[in-house]
Chain A
Amino acid sequence: VSGVRKIVVTELLSLDGVAEAPDSFFGWDDAVDAKIPELIATQDAVILGRRTYNEWVRFWPSSQIEPFATFINGVEKYVATSKPLDQEWADSTVVEGGLVEFVQDLKHQPGGDIGVHGSISVAQALLAADVVDELTLAIAPTIAGRGRRLLDGLPPIQLESIRSEISPTGYLIVDYRLIREGSANEPASATRGSGGRRISS
């Protein structure tokens, strides 16, 4: 194991890949719930986009939804924003300079895994820059039909699924490892990147 921290992106998606406003299509069951403590156990920093920060700062400080409330309120939060933040939240820092450079630097500092939760623009920028190590998706058995999609506009990326399960109510929970150029791993799967024909748009 190298000393470099992993960047772990976690997103709730509809089957058609929409990551925006998951509350409108996403439900929870025990298997989805069980994923949360497992994910956050290894994370001691998170990177949030401005929109996710502004929504979450209004919700989580007074929330009693555990264990995520304790985690997100106490964890080191780095916020990618070019504007001042609406409200203060303990342990939050605005990212100065370029996001990708910041994250690459953070990865080489001592610490645990670095999480990206929601924050679609941040997730997309880090995926496109090839600095993400793992992508955890919980995919709802729903076609949202509208909303921002997580995987639009990305270059082709090779993924390897390292764990997957289907929850009792039909949520597909998959952990992918991103395969880097020159990696010893055989590409087992892929996203297609832009180009090609989708069955829904």
Chain B
Amino acid sequence: MRRLILEEWLSLDGYAVDTEGTLDFFPPSESDQFSDRDQLGFLESVDTILLGRRTYELFVDFWPMTATDEEIIADRLNSLPKLVFSNTLSEAPWGEWPPARVVHGDAVAEIRRLKEGMGSTWSCGGASRLPTSSSQRTSSMNITSNSVRP
């Protein structure tokens, strides 16, 4: 069975976004270069990315237009198959890259069904709405020390 890996970037007191919905409490710093390499290794270990609608909208404004010489994870992130859980979107284009597939309805049921299929691991990149509703049913929570940033 495929593993579902929940990844979140948090403040020490457990916030996944600030009041403006951003991650601006992660200031650009030297440590980002370490976490970028760590993140690339993580993305190379998964074969699908799961996103909530809000994170999709945040990511799609940045990542499809970004090249690997600017952000080392860009090509890997852009080329991975993606699912977006949303009852309001009808499609989820990803710039010049293949579009994400939109999943309507019960996200937990869909994830349970997909976990039975072939593949390696799954990632929920920053989609805090989604894992909240399905956290009881994740088979694996691989929260690395890097994910729980101070």
Report chain B residues within 8 Å CB of A192: 11-13, 15, 18, 25
* Cβ-neighbour of A186 out of B29, B132, B149 (below 8 A): B29
Considering the chains assembled together, what is the distance between the CA atoms of A151 and B11 in angstroms? 11
A189 contacts B145, CB within 8 Å?
A: no
> Does A85 belong to the interface (CB within 8 Å)?
no
- When C-beta atoms are compared, the residue in chain A nearest to B132 turns out to be A199
> Does A79 belong to the interface (CB within 8 Å)?
no
> Does B27 belong to the interface (CB within 8 Å)?
yes
Given known contacts A164-B145, A192-B25, A199 and B18 CB-to-CB distance under 8 angstroms: no
> Does B150 belong to the interface (CB within 8 Å)?
yes
Considering the chains assembled together, what is the distance between the CA atoms of A161 and B12 in angstroms? 11
A166 contacts B145, CB within 8 Å?
A: yes
Report chain A residues within 8 Å CB of B131: 199
B12 contacts A189, CB within 8 Å?
A: yes
> Does A97 belong to the interface (CB within 8 Å)?
no
> Does A190 belong to the interface (CB within 8 Å)?
yes
Given known contacts A161-B150, A174-B150, A195 and B128 CB-to-CB distance under 8 angstroms: no
> Does A187 belong to the interface (CB within 8 Å)?
yes
> Does A176 belong to the interface (CB within 8 Å)?
yes
Mostly, the B contact residues are: loop
B128 contacts A197, CB within 8 Å?
A: yes
Considering the chains assembled together, what is the distance between the CA atoms of A161 and B149 in angstroms? 10
A15 contacts B143, CB within 8 Å?
A: yes
- When C-beta atoms are compared, the residue in chain B nearest to A189 turns out to be B150
Hey, what's the 0/1 contact readout for B5-16 against A, CB within 8 Å counting as 1? Answer: 000101111111
A159 contacts B19, CB within 8 Å?
A: no
B16 contacts A196, CB within 8 Å?
A: yes
> Does A31 belong to the interface (CB within 8 Å)?
no
Report chain B residues within 8 Å CB of A172: 145, 148
From residue B33, how far is it (CB to closest CB) to chain A in Å?
A: 14
Spell out A's residues near B (CB within 8 Å): 15-17, 139, 149, 151-152, 154, 159, 161, 164, 166, 172, 174, 176, 186-193, 195-200
Spell out B's residues near A (CB within 8 Å): 8, 10-19, 21, 25, 27, 29, 31, 128, 131-132, 135, 143, 145, 148-150
19 contacts between A and B (CB under 8 A): A16-B14, A149-B14, A151-B14, A152-B13, A159-B12, A159-B150, A174-B150, A187-B27, A188-B150, A190-B25, A190-B27, A192-B15, A192-B18, A195-B15, A196-B15, A196-B18, A197-B15, A197-B16, A198-B15
8 additional A-B pairs beyond A190-B11, A195-B19, A196-B18, beta carbons within 8 Å, are A15-B148, A149-B13, A151-B12, A188-B150, A189-B149, A189-B150, A190-B150, A199-B16
